[in-house]
């Protein structure tokens, strides 16, 4: 046995164990291409209506990272961190304030890669401070005290006129700072700027590929998210991660074996806060403006919770799929219809007299769609969420794992092994 195992090069084994990851990353990498091909194909109109556009996918990436960091603490140690938005907000505000030269000792021209790390560290310090107090509690009380802390910060930031002239509306990047660059630090040619308007465009890559600013941002942010995912994955598969799961399963027993569970929980919370901060920083770097309501508000953590439950609570990558699902539904039912959606599709492809048909009491088909479907994605996501909690408590990925009898990565590794 042992001889057989060593006869394989470690690299081949490593690649085999990561086939699932490579497939997913390849899918995300090819997505802009697939999207472009499908939207110009004969089924183009349907594709526009159904598939999320690249900007939405970018949002899926950074918010997915936030949802993963939420799941890292809540799904693996069992401590529901309902105030997780605090760390997302801390990272986001850090980037905007630093770019405006309002953070002491951080010049406004600091490279974005460094800002990402600093934003993560700011959130980490905050997480240690909040966690040191909160981990004396458990269960419902823990969820509530973290919620309390995040709401204190939310109200504080909405009233703190240091961040901008009208803090309730948030802050934005002022001054001449161009797009935030992501890439290899200190090598200019290996950096690209992100942002819908400020980002770099790439033309003639490898002779044939041209990328718009949105696509460049998508790849750059996606790359950071992959690195962060692998880092969290590494932590979870280490002995440290095993202790986290032990705390979830039976904290008293973990303590009885001799683990100082308080320290483990605090460290896990710090790591989780760090990545939530990075997610917030990516959000701020891409959008270049932040508001208290889409960073510090407790429903932001609620969105992460939604993504985690649908994707799979206690599976690290599940929340990313949960968020992908979530955003796709929202875009499909959005009122703006920027990325294409149900209503623009129907307007174009269904005869006007069908849309104007009266259903009941003077309500037309179009009126009914506008009243009950468009802009009301929360209703259907909420219903779905309730159904998931009741009938699919493990979420999409968790259920898949149950069927496959292990993680998807180990299952694919076994399949590849068998077919060699």
Q: Is 336 in the site for other proteins (CB under 8 A)?
A: no
Give the pair of three-digit tokens for residue 171: 């802050």
- Residues 364-383 touching other proteins, rule: CB under 8 A, are 371-372, 376, 378-379, 381-383
Among 138, 210, 238, 335, binds other proteins (CB under 8 A): 138
- Residues 235-264 touching other proteins, rule: CB under 8 A, are 251
Query: How near is the Cβ of 260 to other proteins at its closest, in Å?
Result: 18
Q: Is 309 in the site for other proteins (CB under 8 A)?
A: yes
Among 61, 116, 143, 211, binds other proteins (CB under 8 A): 143
Among 190, 393, 415, 417, binds other proteins (CB under 8 A): 393
Which part of the chain contacts other proteins (CB under 8 A), choosing from 131-139, 195-203, 217-225, 404-412? 131-139
- Residues 73-92 touching other proteins, rule: CB under 8 A, are 78, 80
Shorter beta-carbon distance to other proteins: residue 139 or 175: 139
Among 9, 161, 165, 189, binds other proteins (CB under 8 A): 161
CA distances from 241 to 47, 73, 247, 265, 305 (A): 41, 10, 10, 10, 21
Q: How many residues bind other proteins (CB under 8 A)?
A: 46
Among 37, 43, 386, 402, binds other proteins (CB under 8 A): 386
Give the pair of three-digit tokens for residue 195: 């942002």
Among 12, 22, 37, 155, binds other proteins (CB under 8 A): 155
Shorter beta-carbon distance to other proteins: residue 155 or 230: 155
Which part of the chain contacts other proteins (CB under 8 A), choosing from 4-12, 139-147, 218-226, 345-353? 139-147
Q: Is 344 in the site for other proteins (CB under 8 A)?
A: no
Cβ–Cβ contacts within 10 Å for residue 51, how many? 20
Q: Is 26 in the site for other proteins (CB under 8 A)?
A: no
Q: Is 70 in the site for other proteins (CB under 8 A)?
A: no
Q: Is 290 in the site for other proteins (CB under 8 A)?
A: no
Shorter beta-carbon distance to other proteins: residue 140 or 227: 140
Contact in structure between 218 and 57 (CB atoms under 8 Å): yes
Residue 417: CA count within 13 A, CB half-sphere: 14
Shorter beta-carbon distance to other proteins: residue 203 or 252: 252
Q: Is 166 in the site for other proteins (CB under 8 A)?
A: no
Q: Is 304 in the site for other proteins (CB under 8 A)?
A: no
Shorter beta-carbon distance to other proteins: residue 200 or 303: 303
Q: Rounded to an integer, what distance in angstroms lies between the CA atom of residue 71 and that of residue 356? A: 46
Q: Is 117 in the site for other proteins (CB under 8 A)?
A: no
Query: How near is the Cβ of 151 to other proteins at its closest, in Å?
Result: 5
Q: Is 115 in the site for other proteins (CB under 8 A)?
A: no
Shorter beta-carbon distance to other proteins: residue 143 or 413: 143
Paired sense of beta strands 209-211 and 289-290, if any = unpaired
Q: Is 338 in the site for other proteins (CB under 8 A)?
A: no
- Interacting residue ranges for other proteins, rule: CB under 8 A: 78, 80, 133-134, 136-141, 143-145, 147-149, 151-152, 155-156, 158-162, 167, 251, 298-299, 302, 305-306, 309, 371-372, 376, 378-379, 381-383, 385-386, 389-390, 393
């Amino acid at each position: 046995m042992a001889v057989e195992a060593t006869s394989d090069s470690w690299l081949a084994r490593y690649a085999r164990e990561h086939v699932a990851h490579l497939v997913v990353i390849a899918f995300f990498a090819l997505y802009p291409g697939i999207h472009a091909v499908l939207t110009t194909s004969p089924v183009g109109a349907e594709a526009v209506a159904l598939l999320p556009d690249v900007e939405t996918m970018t949002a899926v990436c950074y918010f997915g990272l936030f949802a993963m960091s939420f799941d890292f603490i809540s799904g693996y140690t069992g401590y529901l961190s309902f105030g997780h938005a605090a760390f997302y907000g801390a990272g986001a505000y850090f980037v905007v304030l630093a770019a405006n030269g309002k953070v002491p000792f951080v010049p406004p021209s600091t490279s974005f890669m460094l800002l990402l790390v600093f934003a993560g560290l700011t959130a980490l310090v905050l997480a240690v401070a909040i966690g040191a107090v909160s981990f004396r509690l458990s269960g419902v009380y823990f969820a509530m005290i973290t919620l309390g802390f995040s709401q204190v910060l939310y109200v504080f930031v909405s009233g703190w006129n240091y961040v901008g002239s009208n803090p309730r509306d948030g802050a934005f990047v002022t001054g001449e700072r161009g797009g935030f660059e992501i890439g290899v630090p200190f090598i200019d040619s290996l950096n690209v700027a992100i942002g819908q308007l400020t980002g770099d465009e790439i033309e003639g890559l490898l002779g044939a590929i041209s990328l718009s600013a949105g696509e460049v941002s998508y790849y750059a942010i996606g790359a950071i998210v992959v690195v962060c995912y692998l880092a969290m994955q590494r932590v979870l598969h280490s002995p440290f991660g095993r202790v986290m799961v032990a705390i979830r399963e039976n904290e008293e027993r973990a303590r009885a074996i001799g683990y100082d569970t308080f320290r483990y929980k605090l460290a896990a919370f710090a790591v989780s806060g760090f990545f939530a901060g990075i997610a917030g920083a990516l959000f701020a770097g891409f959008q270049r403006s932040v508001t208290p309501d889409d960073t510090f508000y407790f429903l932001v953590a609620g969105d992460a919770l939604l993504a985690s439950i649908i994707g799979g609570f206690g599976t690290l990558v599940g929340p990313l799929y949960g968020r992908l699902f979530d955003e796709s539904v929202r875009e499909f039912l959005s009122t703006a219809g920027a990325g294409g959606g149900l209503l623009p599709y129907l307007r174009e492809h269904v005869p006007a007299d069908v849309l104007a048909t009266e259903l009941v009491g003077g309500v037309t088909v179009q009126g009914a769609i506008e009243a009950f479907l468009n802009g009301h994605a929360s209703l259907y996501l909420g219903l779905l969420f309730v159904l998931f909690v009741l009938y699919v408590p493990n979420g999409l990925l968790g259920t898949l794992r149950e069927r496959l009898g292990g993680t998807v990565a180990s299952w694919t590794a076994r399949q590849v092994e068998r077919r060699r």
